[in-house]
Amino acid sequence: MSRPHPRLWARLAVAAVLVATGSVVPAAPALAADLPAADYQQVSLASGSGELGEAMSLAVMPNRSVIHTARSGQVRITDAAGNTSLAGTLNVYTHDEEGLQGVAVDPGFATNRFIWLYYSPRLSTPNGDAPTTGTQTDWNTWKGQFYLSRFTLTTGNTLDMASEKIVLRVDNDRGQCCHAGGDIDFDAAGNLYLTTGDDTNPFESQSYTPIDERTNRNPQFDAQRSSGNTNDLRGKLIRIKPAADGNSYTIPAGNLFAPGTANTRPEIYGMGFRNPFRMSVDKATGIVYLGDYGPDAGGAVANRGPGGQVEFNRITSAGNYGWPYCTGSNTTAETYNEYTFPSGPSQAKYNCAGGPTNNSFRNTGLTTLPAAKPAWIRYGGEAGSPPEFGGGSESPMGGPVYRYDAASTSTVKFPQSLDGRFFAGEYGRRWIKAIAVTSTGGYGEISGLPWTGTQVMDMAFGPDGALYVLDYGTGSNNQALWRVEYIGGTNRNPIAKAAGTPTSGLAPLTVAFSSAGSSDPEGGALSYSWNWGDGTANSTAANPSHTFTANGTYNVTLTVRDPQNLPATSNVTITVGNTAPTVTLNLPNNGQLFSFGDGVPYTITVTDPQDGTITCSRVRLTYLLGHDSHRHQITQQNGCSGTLTVPSDGEHDAAANLYGVFVADYTDNGGLNATSERITQPKHRQAEHYGAMNGIQAATHGPAEGGTTVGFVDNNDWISFTPYNVSNANSITARVSSGGVGGTLEVRAGSATGTLMGTATVAPTGGWDTFVDVSANLTNKPAGQTTLFLVFKGATGQGNLFDLDAFTLNTTSAPPAGTIEGEAFTSQSGVQTAGHAAASGGQTVGYIDNGDWAGYSQVTTVGGTGFTARVSSGGPGGTITIRSGSQTGPVLGTVAVANTGSFDTFANVSTTLNGAGTGSLFLTFTGGAGALFDIDTFSIARGTSTTIEGEAWSAQSGVTNATHAPASGGLTAGHIENGDWTAYSQLNTSGAKTASVRFSSAGAGGTVQVRSGSQTGTLLGSITLPNTGGWETFQNATTTLTGNVSGTLYLVFVGGAGNLFDIDTVTITK
């Protein structure tokens, strides 16, 4: 359902007042209409891993064939009819994002048949990850290169491997993630353009700029050595003029640095890029259009830098685009501070307007860089976004400019109305936009191109004026190569879908083929023709079988035609003489819960009829960090079993939509590969990252994690997440707020009415910006993966029950008795994970400034009597305050942390707790300026607790049982009025530290006096119980006991007129 919300009305009213009273309000341009869907069609040319692999880049040849690359080294060619063949395979190094990247067709291809490839050769680089700390001797082992090479393509469409000319070598560092760049294009003058990434690990810079200058740090954590280095080819747009013989190149006039300029590379046309993954050159003007990926900080921090944003750049001349010193507009507000790793202090902002200073000891170029140029279009975070861009992740793909050819007789060329439009792609948001360029070089009308594919990887216009699009897919074998044609509303081509079972095996091999999924958009009947590729007669059946008698690889083509005789094709590759291996990733389980820093055990089973006994060193497990709809390859290791430690993530904001992806693969002796994939889910997740929903809307709240909640909640609304395996989760903790009446949160498996695993009560919190944690134990959990549903319940028609910010699935129901890792926080403000070799597990919670905090929903404060932390400090030190329930909750204790000599020198600090904890643990941090201290581990000492039902009194006055479904056991001590009391002879107060009650109230509320021995005995403590919003809305309250604590427990009830409150349970802790 969709409906307005009182909070939204208030916001709109304020906005209306501002508009009415403001002095100047520019008119907002009307959103441009999308291009008519009936005027365009997508023709499938190739699909699936067999025809595309991990699809990377494409180029269109003069005959409309498409040459495209896979990161694992394959170069394939798909002709205009949709037949795909393998042209060749390069031996490449594929750690993280490296491998075969870009491809381009030489301007003189019609006569010379040259193609260009950018790839990372295998060389002698070790397997696995490079160490993050060490010496230069360690780093030298991981030195590598990318090659920009020219090859000759034979007339039979195979790569002549002996023809390779290595025209340019780009030095790089290996064994860490990320950013390879690697797109290639030519201008009309025959100049070659190449993009390169910054070759820098972004995951340990707290989502800001990676400029770590520690001498023992892997150089891959410092982008000043690459993007910010005028004497290095990484993080650049390179422009060269290759010589005809392929043995050299010259430098075109107008590059950023003239040949012979000291400490510079003359090949550089543009610098200051992070990951300029896709670009194109408009041959009519020589202008470059480039998409540059940016960092992922959730918001600006005054002494660090701006929030994350990305860029489309329109490059008309040589220049510096700012990274790693600034981004976006490159104004002061979007400039980074110089920063001392690992935890500060921050220094002044870089001077991007005048030219930033690169003072890294790794810089081999100029110290003062050229002034930074602003982005053409920036979007994301505080930068905002053109409204036509919509929302979602930020992943810009620089596409081509369309140039209308009036002389072309092509029937599928785009219309003249789109002449000069820049076609921008968005990988994560899954759109293609046609962006007009104004006469002054700005951007004008933005129109959406009809697009039903998924993640745009690369685009190019062909000689026919159609747009060719390489679609990366979503990891479900749905990668694709499309040709988008303009048809002007005429009859559309049919859609062909071909499949075969099995696709490999020994001869004779009988395969059952299927055309299921083939269709005609106009609903007409289809005719079928199957070409087996083995010289035997075609079949016209819709779903035939065919037996292959000879070994070989067969490209089987299905052609379907509609009543107007328009065709479509689809292909299936059949391998005879070798059976593909079967790979099963047994562990981790699909949907398994994990935390960053965990060691995740894995087991992989591989069988192959021809290979026999499997050599486990050839079995590979790859871990990828999932972020929204895309994935970053992070690390790999070989073996059939083991434990893979999930690296910490310091690139993305703590509220980012992250998950883990584990992929096992094996390539057999005959070259066939098989994979098995599992998704793992973080224990702590933002509610707004649901996969499906009913009724809710997003709500904006500053105190929320990431600033957004699931809000506007009515009875029976729900959100869901898949896949999840909650078999080892014993409880859920939800961070909620309510300025309404509250309600309950149901946790269900499979559907919104599926198995009920738990229910948490949400009481009014006093405001939509006031957040608390509520918890529920989980039972009746399915053994395997499921879809997790969170269902909102409350008064029907009431509306606006409560907001859900985030939730944590806890894998232990009892309070942790041992040591807790400091970096295992489930919510936070300001802090990040820091790496320290001397820390437990190699990590701490660090980067702690005054006012920061960390929450641990998996750790309860109930019964806590002492707190001990292992800390380090190379800064001023400060104070840890231990709180219950929230970062502003009741204080349980404080402990001072002094300077320990360095952030790698650890000591223990301890304090007693007052025992009044009722909620989950929060640590708040105070101190002076800069990084205060790190926390490695902590533990809470606990007393023993005894809980009984409120209605289990041994004596009473005035109190009777009341029935309430959410109460423990369904009953409470109820109908309580002023002066009533209950006694519990089974609870002896001797030695008790605290007393707690679970209560509800739709009345006036009141006070519980805790007494010993009798209803007029020694007063040990008092608990104030407010109105909770309903008799079935329960909260907890605690008091510390003082005085002569001994004897039977008595509760005496004090308040105004009428029913005050109900008591569900009573707990004493000793």
Q: What is the pLDDT of residues 838-865, one digit of tens each?
A: 788 777 898 898 999 998 877 888 778 8
Residue pair 309/331 in contact (Cβ under 8 Å)? The answer is: no
Of 632, 641, 630, the residue nearest 664 (C-alpha):
641
Pairing of strands 268-271, 319-320: parallel
| Structure confidence at residue 812 (pLDDT) | 54
Measured between its terminal Cα atoms, the distance across the chain in Å is 50
Give residue 383's pLDDT band: very low, low, confident or very high (50, 70, 90).
low
Q: Where are the alpha helices (DSSP H) in 556-678?
A: none
Kindly state the average pLDDT of the residues 455-477: 95
Residue 1 clears pLDDT 60, i.e. is over it: no
| Tokens read off for 639 | 């073996």
Per domain, the residue ranges of the chain are 45-53+392-490, 55-126+149-166, 188-384, 499-576, 582-682, 684-810, 820-942, 945-1069
14 pLDDT exceeds 80?
no
Q: Residue 700 CB: number of other CB atoms within 10 A? A: 12
Of 505 and 673, which is predicted with more confidence?
Answer: 505
pLDDT tens-digit series, residues 36-67 = 999 999 999 999 988 999 999 999 999 999 99
Per residue in 340-357, pLDDT tens? 998 889 999 999 999 999
Topology of the domain covering 945-1069:
Jelly Rolls (2.60.120)
Confidence of residue 654 (pLDDT cuts 50, 70, 90): low
pLDDT of residue 818: 61
What's the mean per-residue pLDDT of the chain?
90
| CATH class for the domain made up of 55-126+149-166 | mainly beta
DSSP 280-300: EEETTTTEEEEEEE--B-SS-
Query: What average pLDDT does range 466-485 have in this prediction?
Result: 94
Least confident of 7-16, 23-32, 525-534: 7-16
**What is the spatial distance between Cα 368 and Cα 229, in angstroms, rounded to a whole number?**
10
Quote the tokens at residue 105: 């067709």
Give the pLDDT band (50/70/90) at residue 20. Answer: very low
- Model confidence at 601, in pLDDT bands (50, 70, 90)? confident
> In this predicted model, what pLDDT tens digit does every residue of 498-521 receive, in sequence order?
999 999 999 999 999 999 999 999
Q: Quick check: 697 pLDDT over 70?
A: yes
The per-residue pLDDT for range 739-749, each reduced to its tens digit, is: 999 999 999 99
> Picking from 686-690, 748-752, 835-839, 997-1001, which range would have the lowest pLDDT averaged per residue?
835-839
Asked if 725 and 589 touch (Cβ cutoff 8 Å), the reply is yes
Q: How far apart are CA 869 and CA 933, in angstroms?
A: 11
Whole-angstrom distance, CA of residue 1070 vs CA of residue 931: 38
Find out whether the peptide bond into 588 is cis, omega within 30 degrees of 0.
yes
Can you give the pLDDT at residue 360?
98
pLDDT score for 29: 40
Task: Round the CA-based radius of gyration of the chain to a whole number and report it.
Answer: 32
Fold identical between 55-126+149-166 and 945-1069? no
Q: So what's the pLDDT on residue 6?
A: 28
What percent of the chain has pLDDT above 90? 67
271 beta partners? 236, 320
Torsion of CA 764, 767, 771, 774, to 10 degrees: 10
Q: Among residues 719, 712, 716, 677, which one has the least CA distance to residue 697?
A: 712
> Would you say 1000 and 1061 are in contact if contact means Cβ atoms under 8 Å apart?
yes
- Amino acid 639 reads G
Q: What is the pLDDT of residue 18?
A: 25
Give start and end residues of each alpha helix (H) in 119-260: 136-140
User: Which residue in 499, 637, 505 sits closest to 579, CA to CA?
Assistant: 505
Closest C-alpha among 650, 646, 604, 643 to residue 623: 646
Q: Indicate if the pLDDT at residue 403 is higher than 80.
A: yes
- Give the class (CATH, top level) of 582-682: mainly beta
Q: What is the CATH number of domain 820-942?
A: 2.60.120.260
Fold (topology level) of 499-576: Immunoglobulin-like (2.60.40)
Q: What is the pLDDT of residue 815?
A: 37
CATH C-level class of 684-810? mainly beta
**pLDDT at res. 857:** 79
DSSP collapsed to 3 states, 510-569: EEEEECCCCECCCCCCCEEEEECCCCCCCECCCCCEEEECCCEEEEEEEEEECCCCCEEE
Q: Is 920 helix (H, G, I), strand (E, B) or coil?
A: strand
Residue 221 three-state SS = helix
User: With bands split at pLDDT 50, 70 and 90, how would you rate the model's confidence at 19?
Assistant: very low
Distance CA 637, CA 128 (A): 6
Nearest to 230 by CA among 255, 201, 266: 266
Q: Which of 283, 284, 291 is nearest to 314 (CA)?
A: 291
Residue with tokens 């290759």: 242
Mean pLDDT of the region 449-474: 96
> At which residue do the structure tokens 């994301």 appear?
380
**Tokens matching residue 829:** 């403000």
Mean pLDDT score, 545-551: 96
pLDDT score for 26: 31
Which two tokens mark 603? 């087991």
Average pLDDT over residues 721-732: 92
